[in-house]
Amino acid sequence: MSNKIVTLEINLEPADNQRLSSLCGPFDDNIKHLERRLGVEINYRGNFFTIVGKPHTAAAGLDIIKHLYIETAPVKGKQIDIEPEQIHLAVKESGVLEQTEEAEFTVGKEVFIKTKKGIIKPRTPNQGQYLMNMVTHDISFGIGPAGTGKTYLAVAAAVDALERQEIRRILLTRPAVEAGEKLGFLPGDLSQKVDPYLRPLYDALFEMLGFEKVEKLIERNVIEVAPLAYMRGRTLNDAFIILDESQNTTVEQMKMFLTRIGFNSRAVITGDVTQIDLPRGARSGLRHAIEVLSDVEDISFNFFQSDDVVRHPVVARIVNAYENWEAKDALEKKAMDKKRREEREAREAKLVADAALSQAQAISNK
């Protein structure tokens, strides 16, 4: 199976801001929906688009964007808006999700991880390739929605490397980004304030090694769990480093993290580019890294899709339900915006008519 990640480019013609707005949807909802469905990253500046992902999904994304832009062409002077349902149908009709490019990888056959709590096997082709990449690459990216096993498998690979004595320590980190609450109002010192943000990493460790062993390894600094801010100025040798929730890093933080990696060290970076909690206007370090590093050797990229969700079966249904709700909400917002626009235009037309009538009356009185 090919690990290759490609970057495809397209310049949509003719350039038209109104058609571009119709294609992308309110708050880029159409683009985000396409990213989630295909497991790619899409960026654009004006009418110039770049799509990063596996060759077949990136090519499908480019074709879909090109096709949908054609659909935005005005009909009898009326602007055509792209609805979320059209995105869904375009992906379905492309057949990209049914392609068997990854059929050559047999789930659970080529790689598995044995821990004291049992054997951990990949459950989907994407997970299997992800595990393979973590073994064979110095830096691996795992990108996709919640529940696809990105963090869990990364921690499993780290534990396996430690028990094989391939590395001497495990370091787990994530940015402590405020998502609706302020850290200053939480009780305790800085470590206690950010501890809840790191809890998913602890949970995975406890499941694989047991509570007592994890506590002992943390006391001996064999395992270190820390916020990303603590990484600055360090050089990490003989370590397995995991950066979780990396979509919430800034460009500067991502560069800082990647340059901490020392000799005989491996790093895994996980995140979901559709769930960014950074302040408006701040660029995600994960999105930027995908663009900058996609052609760098010894770095692998794995893009997961909603089909890779392996938690309780209801989680996959929850993910789909939220996607459907977001599509419906975007449609309602678009209808509301249209109604407000029409009301505003009607008020402006009335003001113009009233002004013309007043002027006509003034002339008549003279």
Residue 279 placed within a domain: yes
Residues 23 and 57 in one domain: yes
Judge whether 151 and 201 are in contact, CB under 8 Å.
yes
- Identify the pLDDT of residue 36: 79
Statement: residue 112 has pLDDT above 80: no
Which letter does DSSP use for residue 306 in this model?
G
What is the spatial distance between Cα 94 and Cα 77, in angstroms, rounded to a whole number? 29
Statement: residue 331 has pLDDT above 90: no
Angle at which helices 251-258 and 285-293 pack, to 10 degrees?
Answer: 60
- Identify the pLDDT of residue 294: 80
pLDDT, greater one: 197 or 174 = 174
Residues 111 and 94 in one domain: no
pLDDT, greater one: 75 or 253 = 253
In this prediction the pTM is: 0.64
Percent of the chain residues past pLDDT 70, beyond the cut: 84
Residues 286 and 344 in one domain: no
pLDDT-derived band at 109, boundaries 50, 70, 90:
very low
Residue 21 placed within a domain: yes
Strand ranges, E, within the chain: 6-11, 41-45, 48-53, 113-115, 118-120, 139-143, 169-174, 223-227, 239-243, 266-271, 299-303
Statement: residue 183 has pLDDT above 70: no
Statement: residue 312 has pLDDT above 60: no
Residues 298 and 331 in one domain: no
Residues 165 and 285 in one domain: yes
Of the three residues 81, 99, 117, the one that is the final residue of a domain is 99
Residues 263 and 351 in one domain: no
Statement: residue 174 has pLDDT above 90: no
Alpha helices in the chain (DSSP H): 17-24, 29-38, 55-71, 84-94, 125-136, 150-163, 190-194, 199-209, 211-219, 251-258, 285-293, 313-365
Residues 43 and 55 in one domain: yes
pLDDT, greater one: 1 or 47 = 47
Picking from 299-308, 312-321, 341-350, which range would have the lowest pLDDT averaged per residue?
312-321
Assign residue 301 the CATH number of its domain.
3.40.50.300
What is the spatial distance between Cα 60 and Cα 66, in angstroms, rounded to a whole number? 10
pLDDT in tens, 192-226: 555 666 777 788 888 888 888 888 998 998 998 88
- Identify the pLDDT of residue 103: 39
Statement: residue 101 has pLDDT above 90: no
Q: What angle do CA 69, 75, 80 make, to 5 degrees?
A: 45
Of the three residues 99, 130, 158, the one that is the final residue of a domain is 99
Q: Of the candidates 231, 324, 308, 307, which has an alpha carbon nearest to the alpha carbon of residue 269?
A: 231
Residues 186 and 203 in one domain: yes
pLDDT in tens, 34-73: 887 788 889 999 999 999 988 888 899 999 999 999 989 8
Residues 269 and 133 in one domain: yes
What is the spatial distance between Cα 113 and Cα 259, in angstroms, rounded to a whole number? 28
Residue 1 placed within a domain: no
Residue 15 placed within a domain: yes
pLDDT in tens, 72-100: 988 877 878 888 778 878 887 877 766 53
Q: Indicate the number of domains in the chain.
A: 3
Judge whether 51 and 42 are in contact, CB under 8 Å.
yes
Statement: residue 191 has pLDDT above 90: no
Angle at which helices 17-24 and 55-71 pack, to 10 degrees?
Answer: 130
What is the spatial distance between Cα 260 and Cα 254, in angstroms, rounded to a whole number? 10
Picking from 185-199, 270-284, 321-335, which range would have the lowest pLDDT averaged per residue?
185-199
Assign residue 73 the CATH number of its domain.
3.30.1370.10
Judge whether 302 and 140 are in contact, CB under 8 Å.
yes
What is the spatial distance between Cα 139 and Cα 310, in angstroms, rounded to a whole number? 24
pLDDT in tens, 137-146: 889 999 988 7
> How high does pLDDT run on average in the chain?
81
Residues 34 and 147 in one domain: no
Domain extent for 351: 313-366
Residues 248 and 347 in one domain: no
Neighbouring CB atoms inside 10 A of 26's CB total 15
Residue 78 placed within a domain: yes
Residues 114 and 189 in one domain: yes
